[in-house]
Amino acid sequence: MLGNLKQQPEDKILALMQMYRDDPRDNKIDLGVGVYRDASGATPVMQAIKDAEQKLWQQETSKSYTALAGDAGFLDAMIGLVLGDAVPRAQVAAAASVGGTGALHQAFELIKMANPGATIWLSAPTWPNHPAIIRHVGLPMGEYRYFDEASRGVDFAGMMADLEKVAAGDVVVLHGCCHNPTGANLTAPEWAAVADLLERKGATPLIDIAYQGFGDGLDDDAAATRALAARLPETLIAASCSKNFGIYRERTGLVMAVSADPSSTGLTQVNLATLNRLNYSFPPDHGARLVTMVLTDPTLKAQWMAELETVRNGMLALRQQLADALRERSGSDRFGFLAQHRGMFSRLGATPEQVAELRETHGIYMIGDSRMNIAGLNAQTVPILADAIIAAGI
């Protein structure tokens, strides 16, 4: 039986990570892996999380299961963080998940249960795991233009033209903030136009919000998600706690389904709980418990928010430093988009050959489509990267 299995395609990011580890050069720079790193190259544990863990160690009396959908306190805290007061709590069904990826998987499973003929529309480009999960679940896919290679911004006209093909009942996957892999985001008026189109077409948004707090701040980063949830009859949301709480390995996420009618919430909640039962039964609780403690304790929350702002402002400073360094070296503003992008990633606009040259000649590792992780830089490596980009003719 097992001999009938097929070889699976290699994950390009994991392959790049191995290439980096095998590279003996001391001056190599890793801009590939999508994990936040501080100036020393470490992915630190936030002090607010450490303090919450210490309290949890002192207070926890049981490791028994919570509930199929996860602890109610976690659901409420995360719904508050993502949606604020945009919609009444009674209209939101939710379930804790195994990270943001688990939240997306559960959302796609829910779509298949509700409307197996729905086409899932993805931005071009998007996070590679989006189409991989959709294919695995067995839903049809469509694609809409998103990134303009010339300006390194959003091809909004192309996006809207392609979304005109969306049919009633289809689902459009949108990045709530800090678009991965491009770093290019919609403006508030553009988000409003997308909402108009989805409402007119009778389509449902599935918002992947994995980087809330990494772009323009917690509330600003959630503004588009809140606006769509308040405006449209139904909205699906997949949220991750990996990045903004720094708890990657705890695998903490949440899937939310907003209904126009609170009477539909109960049925959706039952189905989300059933999906948890079928996929992994009870979701992990340790990370969820820490997030709940941080969001509900005023002292811990203030501490966490300050730490998150330090992370966000640090990435913005690196973006500006790199844009300035490239302006000096190129004598032009063609790299100004780097300062305008938000989140950990930017798509540089280099060819695969130029990306290979950066890796082979300069020891700079980034994804083949030229997605680079800004958080992989520090003040000392920015000039090195700038020199290499110019030397590679980008």
**Enzyme catalytic residues:** 127, 208, 210, 243
Helix (H, G, I), strand (E, B) or coil at 383: helix
- Which residue in 179, 169, 164, 160 sits closest to 205, CA to CA? 169
Cα 337 to chain centroid distance, Å, stands at 20
Report CA dihedral (294, 215, 379, 23) to the nearest 10 degrees: 90
Which string of b and e fits 208-233 if b means at least 16 CB within 10 Å?
A: bbbbbbbbbbbeebbbbbbbbbebbe
- Rounded to whole angstroms, how far apart are CA atoms 272 and 264? 13
| Token reading at 121 | 């529309």
CA distances from 340 to 155, 184, 197, 297 (A): 15, 8, 26, 34
Span between the terminal Cα atoms of the chain, in Å: 49
- Rounded to whole angstroms, how far apart are CA atoms 34 and 242? 11
**Residue 87 · residue 261 · CB < 8 Å:** no
CB-based contacts of 42, cutoff 8 Å, min separation 6: none
- Rounded to whole angstroms, how far apart are CA atoms 187 and 29? 32
- Rounded to whole angstroms, how far apart are CA atoms 73 and 54? 19
- Rounded to whole angstroms, how far apart are CA atoms 342 and 388? 22
Angle at 293 between CA 33 and CA 208, to 5 degrees: 40
